[in-house]
Structure formats: C-alpha cells, structure tokens
Amino acid sequence: MNKQLKVLFIGTYVPKECGIATFTSDLLNSVSGEYNDVHCEVIALNDPSETYNYPKEVVFQIERDKIEDYYRAADYINQSDIDIVCLQHEFGLFWGNAGDYIFALLSGISKPVITTMHTVIREPEPEYRASTEKLIEYSEKLVVMSQTAVDMLKDVYKVPEDKIEVIFHGLPDYPFNNCDKYKKMLNLKGSPLVLTFGLLSQNKGIESLLEALPDVVNQYPDLVYLILGATHPMVKKKQGETYRQYLKKKVSELGLENNVVFHDKFVEKEELCNYILASDIYASPYLSREQIVSGALTYAIGMGKAIVSTPYWYAQEMLSDNRGLLVDFGDTDGFKKSLLYLIENPEECNIMRKKAYDFGRKMTWKNVGKEYNKVFSKALKKYNTYPRVQNRFNFLPNQLPEVKLDYLKLLTDDVGIMQHTNLGVPARHHGYSTDDVGRALVALTQLIDSQEKTEELWKLITKYMSFLEHAQTDTGHFHNFMSYKREFLDENGSEDTLGRAIYGLGHVVSCSYLSKNIRTLAHTLVSKSCQEMENLSHPRAKAYTMCGLYEMFRAGVDADEFGSIFNSRRDAVKSVDSLIEKDTFESIFVSHADSLVDLYETNHKEDWNWFEPTITYSNAKLSESLLLAYNYTKDRTYRKIGLDTLDFLTEIQWRGDFFDLVGNHGWYSYEGQKPIFDQQPIEAGYLTQAYVSAYEIVHERKYLELAKYSFEYFLGRNRLRTGMYDYSTGAVCDGLNSDGMNCNQGAESVICFLMALSSLNKHTDKPFSTTFQSKVSDGVLQKKKSLPPTNQAEQGSNIIWRGNEGII
C-alpha cells in the first residue's frame, strides 16, 4: 500500500474574504479530492487581530505582522510528518520589506517547497527583486499560471526552465448553457446583462466602462451593468468606500441610474458562479498591464462568457485565438464598439463563447488537482534523491576564537566597567555595576590559566577588586549601580548582585597566579558577607554564591592559609576575626544546595524538570551549582537534579543543530508558550559553563559536545544564523530580537562570552564528535536509566584537595 502523501498549504484561507483564500481552499480540495491517499493541512495567514472559525484542516495560524509566528510555523512544520509544502505567494500577503517575513519560515524548514506565484514583476524595485530571488532559492518548483510568467522568470530572474511549471488557475466545471435560467433564479434583469465581479478597488478601472455606456444604452435601453463585490478589505480599511462613492456619483452624472446596479457583498463560490452563468457579457476593464493572473477572468472563460477586457498580460494570453475582445486601457470608445459588436453579432459572439468554454476545460479544478499532484510527486522524488544539504551552519569556524580583551579594556576606565554602550561606544550615563565586575573577575581569573598575559590581566583584576572593595557596605552586602560621577545609586544591590560579587571573589581567592595580598583581600570581602550570604532567599543568588564558594573549596583555601598575611599586614584589614572558617562557608553552601533541591521538589512535574514554574534568566547557573555541590559533597541527589535540570534546558532549547534560547519577551512558563525573542547571550555563556562542568564531573562526552554548540551560539549557531561576536574588536552583541540582532554591545555580553570561552579552552585538545547531532534528535535527550559512580573517587564522602590542582 502506498504511503499517504501529506501536503501543507500556506496562504490565506476561507472563511477569510480574499481571492487567494478561495484559491487555496479550491486547490486543497482539488488535490485531496483527486486521490484518497493525499492528506492536506493548512497554515492560515491572518491580518492583525483577525480571528476566524476555520475548518479542521487549518492546523496553525500566522498573524502576518508577527515574525515570531513565522518562526514558530517553521518549527511546527519540521516537527510534523508533512511531506511537502505548497506556498501561495503574493507580496502583500506577508509582512516586512517586500513581504520578506516569509523567509523566516522558509529558511528554517527542511521540507521541499512548491511555490505558486500569484505575482511576477517584470521591472522590480531592488527590494522586490531580492525578495523574488530569495523565493526562487527556497523553492523546489515554481508554479505559475501563464506562459507570460514563465518568460519573465526566465528572462528577468534567470530561472532554469525545469524549475518552472505552468498550471492554469482552476475553475469549477459547469456545462455550456444560455443565461435565462440563472437570471430567473437570481431575479436579475438585463438584456444584455454585463457583469464585472471581484473585490472592489481602483485598479478595476470600472469608470472606463461606465463612460462607454451612455451611447450603448441609447440603442439598447434594457442593458444592465452589474458591479458585483464588496470593497477589498485592505482598501476599505485605509480609504473606506471612496472608490464606490466615486463610481456611484459617475453613474448619476451619466444618467445611468436605471442601467447600473451595485451588489455590495462578498459572494460565496456557488452564488458567484450563478451570477456569472446569468451574465451575457463579462467586462474586465483593469488598469494594470502587469497582472499575470485573474481568477475572475478565468471563471468567465471557463463558463463560456463573451468577454471584453483590457490587454493586461493574463488577458492577452487567455483571450488569444478569438476567445474574447481586447480594448486598450482607458479606451472608452473601444469599450463602446466592443459591447455593440457583441450585442449586434450574436453568431460571432456565440462562437467566441464556445472557444472560451472549450479552452477552459483544461482549467477545471479536477485537472488542476491532477497537475499539482504530478508536480508534488516529481519534486518530492527529486528532493529525496538529491536532498538539500542540511548543515545550515557550515560557515562556522573549525577553531575557537583567540582570547581578545580589547573590547573589555575599552569599557574599563580607572573606576570599573561601563555597563552599556550605544552601538559599541561606551555610554557613560549608565555608569558601572557590581554585577559586571563580579563576573568579569570570573572570566579573567580563568583566562590567566590559559594565556601568558598575566600582567595585563592582573591590572584589570586589581581595578575590579578595588571597585568591589569600595562597593561593599558595612553589612557585607554590595552596592550595585554607580554613576559616572562615582556615586552609588542604591543602598544595597539585589541578592543577585551579592551572589555575583561572591562568584567573582571566590575565583580570585582560588587563583594561584595572583598575589596572596589580592587573594587575601578577596577572602576578607567574602568573609564580611557571611551573614548576608546566609540570609539569601533568591535561587539564582544562592547559585552564584555556591559557585564562588566552590572555587574556594576547590583550591583548598581557608582562613589558616591567610593567617600570616593578616598578622603582618593589619593595616590592610580590620582584624583577623573577619576571616571566617571553612566550616561556616560549607554550612552556607550545603544549606543553599538543599534549598534548591526543595525548590525543585516543589515545582517539578513529569514533563517539567525545573526549579520554578517559569524559566527566566541565568538558568544554567542553577543546574551547575548543584553539580558543583555534588562534586564537593558526593550527595547523589544534587547530581541527579543537576543533570536532570540541565538536560531539561537542553530538551527545550536544542533544536537539533542550534540552540534556540528561551527569550525574555515574556519568559517560559509551564503550559505556556516558549518565547522566541529577545534572546540574551548570557544564557549561551552560562550553558557553556554548565556543560563543561557536567563533562568534568560525570565524564559524559555529550556535555562537551553541547558546550561547543552552545558556545557557537555567539558565532552564528542560532535561530537567525547571525554571528554576535566581532572578531576584529572582541565585542559581542546584546541579543537576538524579532527584527534582527541587537547591535548594542554591553559589558555583560562580552564578559559572558569570555567566561564561556575560557571554560571551553580547557578542553580544546579533545576532538569534537561529528555525529553528535544525530544523537540529540529533535532537541530531546534520552533519559538516563541509572546513575553509577563515574570513578572510584566518587564512591567516598570526601574530596582530596591538592592546592590549585583541583580534584583528584
């Protein structure tokens, strides 16, 4: 039995009152109705704030001015079992510059795309040329509805002929008949009855035909001209009924009140067909030569109407071989003569009608559905035989960037680090922050181990230590914000500020490359904060604090190590009593770890392995802190929760070949929708650090692989495939927004980049797997079935300390 073909249509859709919505519905029915083994679904495009009661085949909706919806639609398509995508393309359907929002979707999907082009521009403006060329690039096949469109694609856009398919605009299949039956059904008068139908807008050119009618009506006073259709919704929104009122005024001026009828309504397909069948003559007086398709003209041809039309491209082609009459644009006299010819020559008129009707048989929806299914099969076979290369990130470098401190130094003056920039220029009015200084100490102390610029780093570290010493309050807390005038702007910073300060100071204490004097000062500042550390309530503040204390434990330092310095340098500190014993720090450390466990036990669910009901910021630091707690205490509860929550962060953010971080535009709540933007580089930096710690602690190779990929987020392995790191300056952009990259380059971003780089640099001698992406399929990690000890050292309850060499 053949596998069922699954086709996804993208376009506007019924019940929206729009020509392409009707076309998409008819095309879907023709494709699925022709064969039982074809299943069709729809992604429907809505105008802002529109809501519709869509039929069941609509499985996803895009609010067309929200770029996030296009990205989410791409995710939906990739996760579905859809075989092929059929896109209905008209520039005005999509938001952005020349409708370029659609490329957020097309660039992110791994399914073949068949694009029906409802517009092709012969002389495009640059933005429309670029948009068309992109559309061509992302499409396996282009379907157009006329040979004129084929010629333009080949001549103007250099599209290979084998990429283009001509499939006519579809139409319902009705027998050739006279009009009287349907006139009676609709209670219409007119001998003859002339019809123009479609959504009303100025490009319809109806005024040209009105001006031709007085002379015709003088000879045939029973003639009725029926103008059928509501005003186009977009025209009505911007201009109201201005055009309709203009036409009605002209009717009055021409004395045609008894001969011109307006039916101001959107008619469903069956009713529309009855109106067409009731008409004797169809008039298409459009003003734009560039129109390459017209559903209205197609229906009139297929139902065997006598037609008079202006020579727009589609009409020229469809009405050739005497299938209708062409009149130049705005040629009132031409319309008059053409109408009189059709009325006064019934035999010739009937021959013209029959030719049009016979030509229309190849355009019935049944035949159109067959042709589309042939194209789908052909394209799918070619796509499966010669699939597109799926490595969307082959532009990434093979090696990690060199450490570059130029930008950090640019942000640093003799006080500290300026928080923010305006397009890379330090913004003095934002001043400085303890948050940045604390984390900068983490990055710099790690870098000392990995490069020879010790003196350069020492100068920066000394400045930052001076800032923290100044920022610490009498209680041991820290001010956070300082103005450019060197005035602190708060009584105390947040709990996170305290945690970040301890995070940095702990790394200074543990760094044996620094002098004992500066390490002693760091230890003193940590000791002074003891009471504040004990009182912490916020989980991230606890996690930062644990990471800082762990560094002190890792290096095997305590008050005894610094005792001789205090005895000989009492002018440097108030007293030796300010040094806290290691047992006190351990008590704080374990208390905070236990509180994170309690938080996890309270909030986690079967499908939500997290500490809180909402995932917000600095997320990986929570997981990392528990892994460090496990490595210090050997309490396997810490290990399990640390890994489970880190794996959960991977599950919700790893997309198979890139990290799609939780955006801070609303955060991500349980049973809520994950926000795509605004993504912050700090999250990539913390993920990298957490994965490296996980690798070092449990020795599972996948965590080192994930560390590499999360770091490459900075280099372009992200949703927008946009590099955030500037190799020439060392600056890092502040985030990924819905409209692209945030080009401000603040301190937090570059500091987190350096932290991540220094963590990963420790393992550059280990080659990365080339098969990792297949191991983490669809962004979901396999769950661990057991948690055996990773080595003999883990089986004991104590850690062996050996100075700065770390854990043995």
Give the tens place of pLDDT for each residue, 201-216: 888 999 999 999 999 9
Task: Tell me if 9 sits within 8 A of 82, measured CB to CB.
Answer: no
Residues constituting the chain: 808
Query: pLDDT per residue over 422-472, tens digit each?
Result: 988 999 999 999 999 999 999 999 988 655 567 789 999 999 999 999 999
For residue 322, what pLDDT is reported? 95
Q: Which H or E run includes 114?
A: strand 113-117
pLDDT of residue 766: 56
Phi (first) and psi of residue 65, to 5 degrees = -95, 5
- The CA distance from 177 to 357, in Å, is 10
Quote the pLDDT of residue 316.
96
Tokens of 370: 């067959």
Q: Look up residue 492 and give its amino acid.
A: N
Strands 614-615 and 668-669: antiparallel
Please give the Cα distance from 224 to 685 (Å, whole number).
73
Prediction pTM value: 0.76
State the pLDDT confidence band at 174, using cuts at 50, 70 and 90.
very high
As given in the structure block, the two tokens for residue 464 are 């930052």
Quick count: other Cβ atoms within 10 Å of Cβ 68? 17
**Dist CA 98 CA 90 (whole Å):** 10
pLDDT tens digits for range 537-569 = 999 999 999 999 999 998 886 555 554 444 443
Query: pLDDT value at position 590?
Result: 97
Span 161-190, mean pLDDT? 92
Averaged pLDDT, 163-182: 92
pLDDT at 167 over 80: yes
Mean pLDDT value of segment 144-159: 96
Q: What is the three-class DSSP state of 351?
A: helix
| Torsion sign over Cα 756, 759, 762, 764 | negative
Pairing of strands 113-117, 668-669: unpaired
Percentage of residues of the chain with pLDDT beyond 90: 76
Q: Is the pLDDT reported for residue 779 higher than 50? A: no
Q: Judge whether residue 805 has pLDDT over 60.
A: no
Model confidence band, residue 391 (pLDDT cutoffs 50, 70, 90): low
Residue 361 pLDDT class (50, 70, 90 cuts): very high
**776, 659 contact by CB (below 8 A):** no
Look up tokens 């005005």; give the residue.
92
What contacts 222, CB < 8 A, 6 or more positions away?
Answer: 189, 190, 191
- pLDDT tier, 571 (very low <50, low <70, confident <90, very high otherwise): very low
What CA–CA distance (Å, rounded) separates 309 from 149? 19
pLDDT band at 479 (very low <50, low <70, confident <90, very high): very high
Residue 573 in this model has a pLDDT that exceeds 50: no
> Mean pLDDT over residues 127-139, rounded?
96
| Residue 41, phi then psi, degrees to nearest 5 | -135, 170
First to last CA, the chain: 61
Q: Mean per-residue pLDDT for 340-344?
A: 96
330: left (phi over 0), alpha (psi -120 to 50) or beta: left
Which letter, b or e, does each residue of 689-721 get, where b requires 16 or more Cβ atoms within 10 Å of its Cβ?
A: bbbbbbbbbbeeebbbbbbbbbbbbbbbbbbbe
User: pLDDT tens-digit profile of 748-771?
Assistant: 999 999 999 999 998 876 544 433
Name the residue among 524, 502, 497 with its Cα closest to residue 434.
497
The full DSSP string for 590-650 is HHHHHHHHHHHHHH-BTTB-SSSSEE-SSHHHHHHHHHHHHHHH--HHHHHHHHHHHHHHH
Burial of residue 337 (number of CB atoms within 10 Å: 0-12, 13-18, 19+): middle
Q: What is the CA radius of gyration of the chain?
A: 36
pLDDT of 282-296, one tens digit each?
999 999 898 999 999
796 has a pLDDT exceeding 70: no
Give the residue ranges of DSSP H helices in 307-345: 313-318, 332-344
Segment (H or E) for 308: strand 306-309
CB atoms within 10 A of CB 42: 25
Residue 637 has pLDDT above 70, yes or no: yes
Q: Is the peptide bond before 15 cis (omega within 30 degrees of 0)?
A: yes
pLDDT digits (tens, 9 = 90+) for 67-121: 989 999 999 999 899 999 999 999 999 999 999 999 999 998 989 999 999 999 9
Contact 146, 114 (CB under 8 A): no
pLDDT score recorded for residue 25: 96
Residue 190 — pLDDT band, cuts 50, 70, 90? confident
CA distances from 76 to 56, 105, 146, 655 (A): 17, 10, 33, 12
pLDDT attached to residue 619:
97
Q: What is the mean pLDDT of residues 10-36?
A: 91
Q: Is the pLDDT of residue 695 over 60?
A: yes
Q: What is the pLDDT of residue 424?
A: 86
- Asked whether 74 and 105 are in contact (CB, 8 A), the reply is yes
pLDDT at 676 over 70: yes
Kindly report, residue by residue over 484-494, the tens digit of the pLDDT: 999 999 999 99
Average pLDDT taken over every residue of the chain: 89
Average pLDDT estimate for 308-325: 96
Angle at CA of residue 118, ends 112 and 121, nearest 5° = 105
* pLDDT higher than 50, residue 1: no
pLDDT confidence of 789, banded at 50, 70, 90? very low
